[in-house]
Chain A
Amino acid sequence: MISFAIFFFFAAVAVIFAAMVVLHRNPVVGALSLVASFFALAVMYVLLEAPFLAALQVIVYAGAIMVLFLFVIMLLNLQHQEEPRTRPVQQFLGYTTSAAFGLALIYYLAKYGVTKLPDGLFVSDARTIGIKMFEGYIFPFEMVSILLLAAIVGALLLSNRSDLAKKEETS
């Protein structure tokens, strides 16, 4: 019973802060609401018996990626700019199509929802995940590490472009 209360409370938190990301004009407030939303999602993962992933969600998403977003927002001095209003046509079309899409999704999910849960314990701690990863998923694991290396090199190169341009101008 108490897990239902926790589910509804944190689901409401996640949805409300996600809506604030979309509706608020200031990007810093949007980034911080997204952090709150990610934290609520981490609680959802705990309710789904995956505590390892909940901790990873907070460490990777809320603790690293969103800090990167905040740094970029502050680096580009966007915190004081309020963006101009979108054209009403685009707003109307955007809201209606996404609402239609969302309502269709929710309708079909609620209609064909599977309610029977399998019994038994779901073992999902770090040891099981680690063993499974190094048994069956070792190739994607190594690929992801090379991908992260490529991303680091790419990010460094892309954000250095302005220094190269200035050097070409002065030389």
Chain B
Amino acid sequence: MHGIDWVDLGLSGLKIAVVLGAMLNVTPIMVWVERRGSALIQDRPGPNRVGPLGLFQSFADALKFILKEDMLPAKANKVLYTIAPMFGLIPALTTIAVVPWGRPFLLPGGRLFEPIIANVNIGILLIFALASMGVYGIVMAGWASANKYSLFGGIRASAQMISYELSLTLAAVSALMVAGSLSLPDVVWRQTGSFVLFNVIKLPAWNIFSPAMWIAFVVFFVSSFAETNRLPFDFAEAEAELVAGYHTEYSSMKFALFFMSEYMAMATMSALITTLFLGGWDIPWYNEPPNALGFALSVLSFVVKVSVLLFIFVWVRWTIPRLKYDLLMKLGWKVFLPAAVINIVIVALFIAKRWI
């Protein structure tokens, strides 16, 4: 096999290692943020015994997951019961491959380092395609557990996910129409720079600052809560109503995989929201130079934006009550889907009149 670019292969391996490490570390950090954040909102101390400020609580949780007994219900379909949690990880770990997390910069050898694992033409379609695969994990988990509460929870959760996938896709289309391309680096490049409002205020050219995209931002933001089965849309795994929904019969590492995939999906959705609407890795009012310093600052900016969104996910969970299932489905089909379509028309109008 001649002509293999070993430097390129090595850089790709490095990028994969970095992103994989970041995604796998999201879960312990988010568990801590969730427990301390919920404690802050509910005016109680939260875990503060294990390590300073309770920082090692996640290690204790991970140890508990590993050491628990791994059960298999007697009437469960063994093959599907075992592979269902793996399907939950597919959207969580693979969709982050097309999200750009920093500014491309020139390495000393003259080579351009692009901080995105797979820069394909059809970037965002891969995200939608692999997110549809996540539904199968829930359906299989609900069916293979041989438990009627799991089946109900599984069917409800997957119906909810499919309905909100539609409004998610259509809301994302507005941001893509402005960029004129399906690949996410193009969307971010379109949002660098700034524009002047009323000849006075200089705003960064992020998509969220243009009035054509406000409806799309709200629809996308709320639909991402529904996609990841987070409160106020977690009727399918509500503790009080359905025991634990589709992962009732799961214990130890298989449950840990479901748990991890939920947090990783949250992180991916936050990364997607920042890329589409909040300018991705762009630092506001600052032109990053194409060298290592600009790259590091852009990565820092991306991480800060994703962290703020993740904290908002936790904040909303402990503030807003849960939506009843039929209200949830009505909201998805009768409010968000028409709103996303209307927003596409508005963005098309803005593009035709060259206001954007």
**Would A52 and B125 be within 8 Å (CB), given that A32-B140, A126-B182 are in contact?**
yes
B135 part of interface (Cβ distance < 8 Å): yes
Q: How far is the CA of A29 from the CA of B151 in the complex (A)?
A: 16
Which of A55, A67, A70, A79 lies in contact with B122, CB distance below 8 A? A55
21 A-B pairs (CB sep. < 8 Å) = A29-B80, A32-B140, A35-B136, A51-B122, A52-B121, A52-B125, A55-B125, A56-B125, A58-B130, A58-B133, A59-B129, A59-B132, A62-B132, A64-B132, A67-B132, A67-B139, A67-B158, A71-B158, A79-B143, A125-B122, A126-B125
Contacts of A59 in B (CB 8 A): 125, 128-129, 132
B108-125 residues at the A interface, CB under 8 angstroms = 120-122, 125
Which A residues form the contact surface with B (CB < 8 A)?
A: 1, 28-29, 32, 35, 42, 51-52, 55-56, 58-59, 62-64, 67, 70-71, 74, 79, 125-127
**A56 to B125 Cα, complex, angstroms:** 8
Within 8 Å of chain A (Cβ to Cβ): is B92? no
For the complex, count residues of B whose C-beta is within 8 A of A. 24
Is B278 on the interface with A (CB-CB < 8 A)? Answer: no
Of A42, A63, A74, A126, most B-chain CB atoms within 10 Å: A63
B162-173 to A contact mask, C-beta < 8 Å, 1/0: 100000000000
Contact A32 B132 (CB under 8 A): no
Q: Which residues of A contact B130 (CB under 8 A)?
A: 58
**Within 8 Å of chain A (Cβ to Cβ): is B89?**
no
Given contacts A32-B140, A74-B151, A74-B155, contact A67 B135 (CB under 8 A): yes
Nearest 9 interchain pairs by C-beta: A63-B132, A55-B125, A58-B129, A125-B121, A55-B129, A59-B129, A51-B122, A55-B122, A126-B182
List 10 additional contacts besides A55-B122, A63-B135; criterion CB under 8 Å: A28-B143, A35-B136, A51-B120, A51-B121, A55-B129, A58-B133, A63-B129, A64-B162, A67-B132, A74-B139
Complex CA gap A126/B130 in Å reads 18
A73: nearest chain-B partner, CB-CB: B143
CB of A128 to closest CB in B, whole Å: 10
CB distance from B181 to the nearest CB of A (A): 8
Query: Given A51-B122, A55-B122, A125-B121, A63–B143 Cβ distance below 8 Å?
Result: no
A63 near B133 with CB under 8 A, answer yes
